[in-house]
């Protein structure tokens, strides 16, 4: 009845539930969705190999796996974007063929993608009603009223008349979720919903999800943040390299166990942190103030020192001025007041404010910023790897023609060193998966032999293995005497990687702590202490 | 002596081809298709109507019968619609199915349309064997120019508002309908979504290609009517090669000027029409260069509007976000 029952039921898939021994299966649980023996290949790549999972009503299921483990592909098959090569999908016990997102919606399956599908110049209401054919009369007022109803029912904070271009990322996500609920979806798939949210927004989202769960909806979250898995989900299904590894009850597992299953082999959770040596000031920032176009101060009177031979972590709720800070150093920001002094090898101080970005780069200050959309800054999606390497080196060599040999070798090196998964060096970067794009970006910046390496969100969206590769790269740079600045989102990582942590809050420095001594609570408190941020 | 009512009347007559052209182009552009073939399509719309009515009038002459007003209007009208529809279909096939570059396709269509018009215009002129390089379709034109019976009796008001052929009123009705369609209907919302973000529209279950085809073909047909109005009403049924001039481009400029709003276009086209003929009403003496400067006014106004729009930078007044971009479903 318990384990026996479940294994008997899933004879078609011997792999499934081999590790689900700990899970207590309640007989009253009704699977809203059962996927059986799903296989999907893209060319030679097997994205999903005989995967079987169940999703139950009134529960939140986390789908956990590394980058490229096939989580999103699997869910895309459920939401009708792809069609499986083989396997069966049962919705509420009945076998269904899902050929298009429309089919999926008519079965009550709604998916919120990582990249929102919204029309910018339209209001929330217009976006929500888009593509629907309900009622004879086209009446946006009634629609808006129904949206307000849904919002108050589940606790969303949404103005139906607000235009999408005026919205924050979190609000856009809300529109997407409400859109699915408006279409009466009762099986909701969220693809990495917290990747672009602040901790507060994440909390809010989780509250809403809990409300929906109480309402009997089946919710699936694709994620690789273990703490969130533990916080929000009832069960967690783990995929690795396209294969189903196991299903765990969240209350009976821990981060270590999940990580082990996820990566297939043990990954040390402790990040190396070599002792900094030969520490001396490299960049000294004092009284830096940046005001944006709308007159809102983004940085206020920020002063600190970046030392060579150590990693300076920067923590803060997203949007606290991290981006502006790095861009100021790289010469890309208009600076209101303050000074940024760069110390050359000889000890001579050079003022960076007012210096153009190219000169700053030549001094060896290198910026790699991984934006929310990954391809937005630093890489050209339609260009191949060699071409993207060339963006930094095209001035090398004096001739009329560009030298493709140097960037080609560099691309080759980066691909090998960081094990970038690409069919070849002449593949356009936009064809690579998000994690690989990031490796190329960070790899290129490091390869330029910087004296100051500025990275922001370098591991955003990366799986654990790739993240460690990047941490190692940063440590190597640090040992070489490079001043490394690492803007991160994950406090655990910051606390284990950085020598010092600068905490930003609402554009002000709320504290600089020792990475070895500080506790998570301490940093968390600093992040919210000034009252400047919401 | 400057008569405002006469000037206004001329401006309105001048404006109707522009209004039809810009309404058609606005609908097309809202689907994300930047159809620069509009000038050519208006040419084809005009010559197709001319061909239809030419053979009908020839037939009448041979049979020595009087013109049937119904057929006199319907034959050129249907020919014109068919001609511009075929141009619209060709454009869609090239840009939607074959994903050819929209700008290049559009420009090629304009060159083709003008050439097509001049070739068949020239052929018909040869058929008539007349010594003047033009075709005159007086009988058909009379049907198109028929005004409301009470227009003469109403003085200035009659001259200004009721002295036009039925296509002029149709143009205004079409523009209002198009504006209503885009703003207030479900199909209009979905069409706008296709032009703004085809990926999103596709994900919402909207058939992007179908919308692009429908909007572009209907838009082409509306624009083609502009050509028909020009030759049958404005030019009193006289076709001569290249007489249509650059009105097609002016229609495209009008789309930008009205920030993609067909109802604005009704007044804006009269303004453009007025500016277009202003040189006739301002004494220029013998200096022909001044005349050419006056002819530039509509374009200068368009550039000014573009500058103002980009300074104000309101999202609603920007061109459809996916304008001119091909849509590949595989890219999502």
Per-residue pLDDT of chain B (332 residues; tens, 9 = 90+): 577 888 899 999 999 999 999 999 999 999 999 999 999 999 999 999 999 999 999 899 888 888 888 999 999 999 999 999 999 999 999 999 998 999 999 999 999 999 999 999 999 988 888 788 888 888 889 888 888 777 777 788 888 888 899 999 999 999 999 999 999 999 999 999 999 999 889 888 889 999 999 999 999 999 999 999 999 999 998 999 888 888 999 899 899 889 899 999 999 999 999 988 888 877 766 677 777 788 788 888 878 877 887 787 777 888 899 998 888 875 43
Q: Which domain holds residue B100?
A: 4-147+157-319
Pairing of strands A218-223, A235-240: unpaired
Q: Is B312 an 8 Å CB contact of chain A?
A: no
Please give, rounded to a whole number of angstroms, the shortest distance from the CA of B323 to a CA of chain A: 14
User: How high is the mean pLDDT of chain A?
Assistant: 80
Same domain, A363 and A249: no
Total of domains in chain B: 1
Strand order in the sheet with A218-223: A109-112, A187-191, A218-223, A60-64, A235-240, A243-249
Any idea what the CATH number is for the domain that residue A212 is in? 3.40.50.300
Same domain, A199 and A57: yes
Confirm whether B324 is domain-assigned: no
A243's CB contacts (< 8 A; 6+ apart) are A15, A49, A50, A51
Any idea what the CATH number is for the domain that residue B66 is in? 1.10.3470
Same domain, A139 and A21: no
Same domain, A170 and A56: no
3-state secondary structure of A37: strand
User: What mean pLDDT is predicted for residues A158-186?
Assistant: 90
Q: Do B203 and A133 touch (CB under 8 A)?
A: no
Q: Do A165 and B201 touch (CB under 8 A)?
A: no
Same domain, A515 and A414: yes
| Alpha carbon A505 to its chain's center | 21
Which of A184, A205, A224 is the C-terminal boundary of a domain?
A184
**Alpha-helical segments (H) within A215-321:** 226-232, 255-263
- In this structure, what are the phi and psi dihedrals at residue A279, rounded to the nearest 5 degrees? -80, 125
Confirm whether B328 is domain-assigned: no
pLDDT of residue B166: 92
Confirm whether B191 is domain-assigned: yes
pLDDT of residue A397: 57
Instruction: Tell me the Ramachandran region of residue B66: left when phi exceeds 0, alpha when psi lies from -120 to 50, beta otherwise.
Output: beta
Interhelix angle for B247-257 vs B38-63, to 10°?
A: 130
Confirm whether A291 is domain-assigned: no
Confirm whether B330 is domain-assigned: no
Q: What is the pLDDT of residues A399-451, one digit of tens each?
A: 666 677 777 887 888 788 777 777 777 778 777 776 677 778 777 877 777 88
Please report where in the chains the tokens 């504006």 appear, as a residue: B179
Same domain, A515 and A477: yes
Confirm whether A165 is domain-assigned: yes
User: What mean pLDDT is predicted for residues A471-498?
Assistant: 83
Q: What is the pLDDT of residues A25-82, one digit of tens each?
A: 455 677 899 999 999 987 666 889 999 999 999 999 999 876 667 888 899 999 888 8
Q: Do B205 and A105 touch (CB under 8 A)?
A: yes
- A127-141, A353-367, A479-493: which range is least confident on average? A353-367
Which of A167, A184, A201 is the C-terminal boundary of a domain?
A184
pLDDT of residue A113: 86
3-state secondary structure of A374: coil
Q: Which domain holds residue A139?
A: 109-184
Q: What is the pLDDT of residues A76-108, one digit of tens each?
A: 999 888 889 999 999 998 999 998 888 888 899
> Which one, of B237, B235, B220, B252, lies nearest residue B41 by Cα?
B220
- Residues of chain A that touch chain B, judged by Cβ-Cβ distance less than 8 Å: 81, 100-102, 105, 117-122, 126, 129-131, 133, 138, 163, 165
Total of domains in chain A: 3
Confirm whether B325 is domain-assigned: no
Same domain, A163 and A201: no
Largest pairwise CA distance in chain B = 65
Pairing of strands A483-487, A452-456: parallel
Is the CB of residue A500 less than 8 Å from the CB of residue A512? Answer: yes
The highest-confidence range among A130-139, A259-268, B200-209, by mean pLDDT, is B200-209
Q: Which residue has the higher pLDDT, A301 or A365?
A: A301
CA atoms of A284 and A337, how far apart (whole Å): 14
Confirm whether B67 is domain-assigned: yes
Q: Is B64 an 8 Å CB contact of chain A?
A: no
Residue A119: list chain B partners with CB under 8 A. 192-193, 196-197, 200-201
User: What mean pLDDT is predicted for residues A292-308?
Assistant: 82
CA atoms of A3 and B44, how far apart (whole Å): 75
Same domain, A28 and A5: yes
Confirm whether B59 is domain-assigned: yes
Q: How many residues does chain A have?
A: 534
CA atoms of A239 and B260, how far apart (whole Å): 49
pLDDT exceeds cutoff 70 at A335: yes
**Rg value, chain A, Cα:** 25
Q: Closest partner residue to A102 among B193, B205, B318, by Cβ?
A: B205
With 0-12 CB in 10 A as exposed, 13-18 as middle and 19+ as buried, what is B16?
buried
**Bridge-partner residues for A34, per DSSP?**
A54, A90
For chain B, strand residue ranges (E) read 135-136, 238-239
- In this structure, what are the phi and psi dihedrals at residue A412, rounded to the nearest 5 degrees? -60, -45
Give the pLDDT band of residue A7 (cuts 50, 70, 90): very low
Same domain, A159 and A193: no
A46's CB contacts (< 8 A; 6+ apart) are A39, A40, A242
Q: What is the dihedral of CA A323, A327, A332, A333, to 10 degrees?
A: 70
How many angstroms separate the first and last alpha carbons of chain B?
A: 64
A369's CB contacts (< 8 A; 6+ apart) are A323, A326, A327, A377, A378, A454, A455, A456, A457
The two structure tokens encoding residue A187: 């099986």
Confirm whether B332 is domain-assigned: no
pLDDT of residue A394: 61
Same domain, A323 and A448: yes
CA atoms of A428 and A388, how far apart (whole Å): 9
Same domain, A200 and A239: yes
Mutation target among A79, A109, A121 for the B interface, most CBs of B within 10 A: A121
Is the CB of residue A36 less than 8 Å from the CB of residue A96? Answer: no
Pairing of strands A218-223, A187-191: parallel
Confirm whether A180 is domain-assigned: yes
Same domain, A264 and A318: no
pLDDT of residue A22: 41
Q: Is B185 an 8 Å CB contact of chain A?
A: yes
Strand order in the sheet with A297-308: A297-308, A280-291, A337-343, A349-351
């Amino acid at each position: 009845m318990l384990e026996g029952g479940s294994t008997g039921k899933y004879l078609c898939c011997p792999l499934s539930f081999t590790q689900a021994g700990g899970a207590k299966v309640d007989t009253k649980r009704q699977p809203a969705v059962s996927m059986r023996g799903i296989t999907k290949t893209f060319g030679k790549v097997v994205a999903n190999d005989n995967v079987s999972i169940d999703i139950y009503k009134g529960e939140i299921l986390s789908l956990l796996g590394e980058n490229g483990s096939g989580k999103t592909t699997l869910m895309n098959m459920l939401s009708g974007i792809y069609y499986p090569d083989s396997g069966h999908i049962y919705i509420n016990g009945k076998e269904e063929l899902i050929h298009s997102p429309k089919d999926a919606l008519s079965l009550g399956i709604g998916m919120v993608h990582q990249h929102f599908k919204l029309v910018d110049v339209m209001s929330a209401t217009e976006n929500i009603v888009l593509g629907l054919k309900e009622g004879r009369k086209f009446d946006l007022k009634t629609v808006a009223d129904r949206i307000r109803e849904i919002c108050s029912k589940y606790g969303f904070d949404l103005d139906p008349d607000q235009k999408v271009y005026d919205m924050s990322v979190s609000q856009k996500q809300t529109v997407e979720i409400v859109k699915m609920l408006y279409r009466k979806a009762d099986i909701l798939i969220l693809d990495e919903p917290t990747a672009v949210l602040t901790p507060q927004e994440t909390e809010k989202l989780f509250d809403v999800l809990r409300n929906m769960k109480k309402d009997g909806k089946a919710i699936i979250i694709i994620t690789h943040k273990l703490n969130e898995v533990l916080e929000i989900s009832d069960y967690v299904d783990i995929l690795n390299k396209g294969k189903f590894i196991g299903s765990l009850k969240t209350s009976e597992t821990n981060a270590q166990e999940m990580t082990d299953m996820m990566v297939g082999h043990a990954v040390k959770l402790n990040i190396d942190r070599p002792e900094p040596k030969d520490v001396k000031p490299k960049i000294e920032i004092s009284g830096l103030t940046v005001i944006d176009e709308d007159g809102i101060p983004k940085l206020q009177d920020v002063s600190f020192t970046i030392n060579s031979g150590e990693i300076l972590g920067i923590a803060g709720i997203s949007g606290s001025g991290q981006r502006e800070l790095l861009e100021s150093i790289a010469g890309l920001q208009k600076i209101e007041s303050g000074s940024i002094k760069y110390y050359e090898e000889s000890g001579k101080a050079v003022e960076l404010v007012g210096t153009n970005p190219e000169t700053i780069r030549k001094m060896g200050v290198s910026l790699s910023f991984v934006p929310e959309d990954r391809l937005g800054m630093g890489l050209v999606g339609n260009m191949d790897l060699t071409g993207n390497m060339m963006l930094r080196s095209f001035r090398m060599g004096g001739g009329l023609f560009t030298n493709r040999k140097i960037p080609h070798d560099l691309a080759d090196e980066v691909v090998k060193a960081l094990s970038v998964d690409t069919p070849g060096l002449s593949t356009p970067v936009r064809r690579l998966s998000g994690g690989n794009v990031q490796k190329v970006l960070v790899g290129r910046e490091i390869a330029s032999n910087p004296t100051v390496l500025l990275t922001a969100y370098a591991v955003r969206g990366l799986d654990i293995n790739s993240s460690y590769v990047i941490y190692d790269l940063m440590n190597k740079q640090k040992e070489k005497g490079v001043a490394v600045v690492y803007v991160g989102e994950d406090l655990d990582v910051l606390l284990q990687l950085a020598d010092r942590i600068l905490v930003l809050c609402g554009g002000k420095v709320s504290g600089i702590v020792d990475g070895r001594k500080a506790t998570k609570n301490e940093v968390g408190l600093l992040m919210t202490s000034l009252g400047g941020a919401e | 002596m400057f008569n405002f009512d006469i000037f206004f009347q001329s401006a309105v007559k001048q404006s109707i081809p522009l209004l039809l052209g810009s309404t058609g182009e606005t609908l097309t552009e809202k689907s994300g298709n930047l159809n620069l073939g509009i000038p050519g399509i208006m040419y084809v719309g005009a010559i197709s109507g001319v061909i239809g009515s030419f053979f009908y009038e020839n037939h009448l002459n041979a049979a020595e019968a009087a013109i049937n007003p119904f057929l006199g209007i319907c034959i050129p009208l249907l020919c014109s619609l068919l001609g511009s529809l075929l141009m619209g279909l060709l454009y869609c096939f090239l840009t939607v199915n074959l994903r050819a570059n929209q700008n290049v396709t559009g420009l090629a269509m304009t060159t083709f349309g003008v050439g097509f018009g001049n070739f068949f215009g020239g052929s018909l002129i040869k058929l008539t064997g007349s010594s003047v390089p033009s075709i005159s379709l007086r009988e058909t034109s009379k049907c198109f120019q028929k005004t409301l019976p009470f227009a003469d009796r109403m003085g200035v008001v009659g001259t200004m508002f009721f002295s036009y052929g039925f296509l002029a009123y149709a143009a205004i009705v079409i523009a209002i309908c198009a504006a209503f369609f885009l703003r207030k209907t479900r199909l209009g919302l979905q069409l706008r979504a296709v032009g703004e973000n085809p990926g999103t529209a596709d994900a919402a279950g909207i058939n992007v290609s179908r919308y692009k085809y429908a909007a572009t073909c209907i838009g082409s047909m509306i624009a083609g009517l502009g050509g028909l109005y020009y030759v049958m009403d404005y030019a009193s049924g006289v076709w001569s090669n290249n007489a249509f001039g650059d009105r097609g481009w002016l229609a495209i400029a009008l789309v930008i000027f009205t920030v993609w709003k067909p109802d604005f276009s009704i007044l804006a086209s009269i303004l453009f029409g007025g500016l277009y003929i202003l040189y006739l009403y301002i004494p220029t003496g013998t200096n022909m260069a001044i005349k050419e400067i006056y002819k530039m006014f509509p374009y200068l106004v368009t550039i000014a509007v573009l500058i103002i729009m980009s300074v104000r930078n309101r999202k609603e007044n920007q061109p459809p976000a996916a304008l001119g971009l091909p849509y590949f479903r595989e890219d999502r």
